[in-house]
Amino acid sequence: MRFQNLLSVALISGSTMAMPINLHLFKRLTDLGHNLDINPLDSIPEAPLPTTPTTTSVKQNLKARQVIVYETVYVSPNEPAQTAASEDIEVVTVTVGVNQPAATSDSAAAVASVATSAAIATTASKQSDNTAASSSSNGFPKPKTVTYSPYNDDSSCKTSDQVYSDLSKIASLGIGNIRVYGTDCNSIYTVEPNAVKLGLKVDQGFWIGSAGVDAIDSGVQDLINWVKNNNGGDWSLFTTLTIGNEAIYGGYVDGKTLLAKIKSVKSTLRSAGWSGSVTTAEPPQSYINFPDLCTDTDGIDYVGLNAHPYFDANTAPADAGNFVLSQIKLAQSACNNRAVQITETGYPSAGNTNGKAVPTKDNQATAIKSILSAMNNNCVLFTLYNDMWKTPGPYNVEQNFGFIDLY
């Protein structure tokens, strides 16, 4: 099956240049491809976004992430994996309103030099306050957005006071945006009101899992009702709407069904006053396998991309940023050069060694610095707190992506 996938990718890409592809395994492999450079993500209007199924089903589906494993496949019939980081790769990082040059070398140093180049310095003034590169009081760089899930270690739902405490910590770090995966745990009434109090913006998601795409309908309506009845009809709390997170990749839905659902939800929200952006979040191969998902402009407004360097056994922590850039290029090539935004990336601090990927606290810091440098801090970092409510997963890392200790 693996050989068959490689053949498919070679045919799709039409290229012999070796390039790493972040490939999940969900009891099966999927095929991929690559090519081309990356356009800037034009200012995405701030707007709301929907939610997802019941508390129990969402929680179970989030826990199911543990059976999703990433593997790297190299798109090259002739070159060994060691040469995969090609010197010919040219990528542009994605920052709202800014088109930045990307690394043209396989070294982490090249990624860092690109991120601090004069070209970026001259465009930094064009960025909004929310996207400008920044660092914490201890000098560690801060992402634009962090993921947040309102669960206690025992899988129970956090109270509004607990959510407020968590979000207060995020706000105190100077991070202005959170990404929430769904509307379970009554989160519309715990996360949203507290985000308003603290001045945080929300990327609100609708979780699509084993219950199917229509299970998000109640969450969509709940969000619309909350905005209308509890927030004065004001959608400005929200930055974007994300319909599904690795729903195709996880085997929960096919691309055609997801695209149709995105269009339907988008229409419902437009009628309710939402005028902002809509996307989904998938790894590159989902877009390569079903390009209509990102090329049909009536669907998503930009390409939401999940990229995790730990699961690529050939990527060392210092090269994590370069890996993320390569994933952007893969998605860009499948999506007619549409704007790409990293919707989830990160690095574990403990767990099994996976080739060159060694999860320690020091390596987590190294990898996250590399990612934030490559992306000029404009990405969604997974995740602020360790997810002890999950099971460890096949690499014993699923509980250990929390990076709060770095600050």
Q: What are the residues facing 95 on neighbouring strands?
A: 98
For residue 93, say if its preceding peptide bond is cis, omega within 30 degrees of 0: no
Q: Which of 192, 282, 344, 398 is catalytic?
A: 344
Long-range CB contacts (within 8 A, 24+) of 98-107: 98/40, 98/123, 98/124, 98/126, 98/127, 98/131, 98/376, 99/39, 99/40, 99/123, 100/40, 100/376, 102/37, 102/38, 102/325, 102/374, 103/321, 103/322, 103/325, 103/374, 106/319, 106/322, 107/319, 107/322
SS3 content of the chain, % helix, strand, coil (to 5): 35, 15, 45
Question: Are 311 and 67 contacting, i.e. CB atoms less than 8 angstroms apart?
Answer: no
Structure letter (DSSP) for residue 263: H
98, β-bridge pairs: 95
Residue with the two structure tokens 């996938």: 5
The type of residue at 263 is K
Is 242 within 8 Å of 177 (Cβ atoms)?
no
**Helix ranges (DSSP H) in 124-254:** 160-172, 191-198, 217-230
Angle between helices 217-230 and 191-198 (to 10 degrees): 40
- Amino acid identity, position 235: W
Instruction: Establish whether 344 is a catalytic residue.
Output: yes
Q: Give me the active site residues, please.
A: 344
